[in-house]
Amino acid sequence: MSLLKLNRMQVASWNVNSVRTRLTHVTDWLQANPDVDVLCLQETKVVDADFPRAAFEGLDYHTYIYGQKAYNGVALLSKPPLEDVRMGFSAILEEEAVGDLDEQKRVISGVLNGVRILNLYVPNGSSIGSEKYDYKMSWLALLKQYLMKTLEETTKLNVCGDFNIAIENKDIYTDEKRDKHIMSSPLERETLQDLLTVGLSDAFRKFTDEGGHLSWCDYRAASFRRNMGWRIDHHYLTPELYKQAKRCWIDIEPRKLEKPSDHTPVIVEY
């Protein structure tokens, strides 16, 4: 790796909605985007033993996986090896605080060039007022504790993933029923905004202020073709990294493929 490359790093986040189903999409994308140093995957939907390591190792990516059968699951694919890889909240928080919130595999992180990259798959919440919604709120509350603990160790933190929350109105294609819709209810938004007060800023909004940018589209009603999407996949950076960020963009090309994930990659460069 050249000195120039060491001074510039790209981290991508992509909910692939099954890494085995979308394997060719992911490997093709990595080959088309050779400057990506780390790809953070969410919703891999596979146990660790069945993760398609060989496909990524054949492209010279190291694989770090934290999965479960049929649901959830996160992974880090990195060209250089990562340091201090951590899986789950319990890697740094007390078991009593974590409770059962690590049963679903949603949290993995590692360090590259002094930057801790934290890859998250935030629960969807299903519907407002449901048990799954309450679970989402509890999970986010624990995430804040996790972030505060992490920030005791580092000033360089890139928190990325599928947050399942559109934090602003302009992150949704429509004004209709925003306050009553999962992923945009007032409590979800307030909780995420409070979480960011630990010292994190939205990398995408450093460069792009207007609405109309989507990272997720429902499979139904030709939503992608009609640009009926939401921006719910994010990169949040600590001040030092935010200052160093050179660009952040959403690559919609994979969403145009046959049988794509309903999400598309979001990339930050610093």
Tell me what the mean pLDDT of segment 177-196 comes to. Answer: 95
Average pLDDT in the chain: 96
To 5 degrees, how large is the angle CA 92–CA 110–CA 19?
Answer: 110
| The pLDDT value given to residue 6 | 58
**Which pair of structure tokens corresponds to residue 191?**
């909780």
Confidence class for position 5, pLDDT limits 50, 70, 90 = low
Per DSSP, 51 falls in state S
CB 109 within 8 A of CB 119: yes
pTM across the whole model: 0.97
pLDDT grade for 243, boundaries at 50, 70 and 90: very high
CA 268/CA 130 separation, integer angstroms: 34
CATH code of 11-262, in short, is: 3.60.10.10
* pLDDT tens for each residue of 83-138: 999 999 999 999 999 999 999 999 999 999 999 999 999 999 999 999 999 999 99
Counting residues of the chain whose pLDDT is more than 70, the rounded percentage is 98
Domain positions in the chain: 11-262
- List strand residue ranges (DSSP E) for 105-232, in order: 107-112, 115-121, 157-162, 201-202, 216-217, 229-230
Q: Which CA distances in Å does 1 have to 5, 35, 117? A: 6, 11, 19
> Tokens standing for 64?
């770090």
pLDDT tens digits along 35-69:
999 999 999 999 999 999 999 999 999 999 999 99
